[in-house]
Amino acid sequence: DADVTQTPRNRITKTGKRIMLECSQTKGHDRMYWYRQDPGLGLRLIYYSFDVKDINKGEISDGYSVSRQAQAKFSLSLESAIPNQTALYFCATSVRDLGPGRGAGYTFGSGTRLTVV
Amino acid sequence: AQSVTQPDIHITVSEGASLELRCNYSYGATPYLFWYVQSPGQGLQLLLKYFSGDTLVQGIKGFEAEFKRSQSSFNLRKPSVHWSDAAEYFCAVGETPNFGNEKLTFGTGTRLTIIP
C-alpha cells in the first residue's frame, strides 16, 4: 500500500455539489497538507495541519474547508463546487523538522483529478 | 514571504545530452531548498534537498544541484539525460527557521522533453 493514499483518484462533479477528497497516511507524520496544481501555476497551498488540533489556511483557502479526523487522516471539502476548482489536488505529509538536515521534505499522494462541470 | 521562480516553462533535450534546470528563490534567511519530479499521472517525488553545508548536493537518479547564495539560485543538473527523465520538475523553498522544511512554496515547474 502507498504511504499516502488519496481517494478518489478521479472525480467529475456538477457545479454547486458538495464534494470531499480524502487523504490517509501510514507514515506516522504529524504534518499534512493540501495543494492544488494548475497548469502554469505550479502547486499552491490550500490548507495545512501541524497536528490534529492545529489547522491553518494556505494561500488559496477560499471555497475550501478541511477536517483532520485523526493524525493519519486529512480531508478536503468543497462545499459548493465551481468550475474554476477543476484541478489536480495533492495531499502531502511531512515529519516535524528536528534540525538542519533532519527533515525529509514532503511525501506526496498520487493526486485526485477533480473536474467540475 | 518566500517565492520561487522557474524561468523555463519547457525544455527539450536530446537523450545523452547534459541538462540544467534553473531555479531562483527569494527568501531573507538561509533557505531550505528542494527539487521534486513529477512523472505523468504521478505524484511528486523528492530528488534532492539542501539545508546547509556543502553547496553541491547529490540526489537520486543521477541528479545534482548547486546552491549559490550570491545568485539566489538552486539549479538542477544532470550530465547525461535518459528518456525516462522526461517529466515535470518543481523547485521548492521551505520556511525557516521556525518551520524548517514545512510549508513549502513551489515554483511553477519546468516540463522536460527528451528527444532521441
Inform me whether the pLDDT recorded for B88 exceeds 70.
Answer: yes
Judged by CB atoms closer than 8 Å, whether chains meet at B99 and A97 is answered as yes
The percent of residues in chain B predicted with pLDDT above 90, rounded, is: 68
Per-block average pLDDT, block size 10, for chain A (117 residues)? 89 97 93 93 93 92 96 96 97 76 77 96
User: Mind telling me how many Å the CA of B57 is from chain A's nearest CA?
Assistant: 12
**Cell numbers for A116:** 467540475
B92 neighbors B34 (Cβ within 8 angstroms): yes
Inform me whether the pLDDT recorded for B31 exceeds 90.
Answer: no
B28 in contact with A at a CB cutoff of 8 Å? no
Give the one of B42, B52, B106 whose C-beta lies nearest to A100's C-beta: B52
- Find the chain A residues whose C-beta atoms sit closer than 8 A to any C-beta of B: 4, 31, 33, 35, 40-45, 48, 50, 90, 92, 94, 96-97, 99-101, 103-106, 108-111
Chain B residues whose beta carbon lies within 8 Å of the beta carbon of residue A49: none
Judged by CB atoms closer than 8 Å, whether chains meet at A104 and B43 is answered as no
Number of C-beta neighbours around residue A90 at 10 A: 25
Stretch among A107-111, B48-52, B68-72, B87-91 having the lowest mean pLDDT: B48-52
Helix then strand count (H, E) for chain A reads 0, 11
CA distances from A8 to A5, A43, A116 (A): 9, 19, 14
Determine the pLDDT at residue A33.
95
Closest CA to A33 of A87, A100, A102, A111: A111
Chain A residues whose beta carbon lies within 8 Å of the beta carbon of residue B105: 45
| Closest residue, chain A, to B91 (C-alpha) | A42
Inform me whether the pLDDT recorded for B77 exceeds 80.
Answer: yes
Stretch among A7-21, A64-78, B77-91, B102-116 having the lowest mean pLDDT: B102-116
Report the pLDDT averaged over residues B34-58.
89
CA distance B92 to A92: 14
CA distances from B92 to A1, A52, B51, B66, B75 (A): 27, 25, 12, 14, 11
Chain B residues whose beta carbon lies within 8 Å of the beta carbon of residue A41: 108
Determine the pLDDT at residue B43.
87
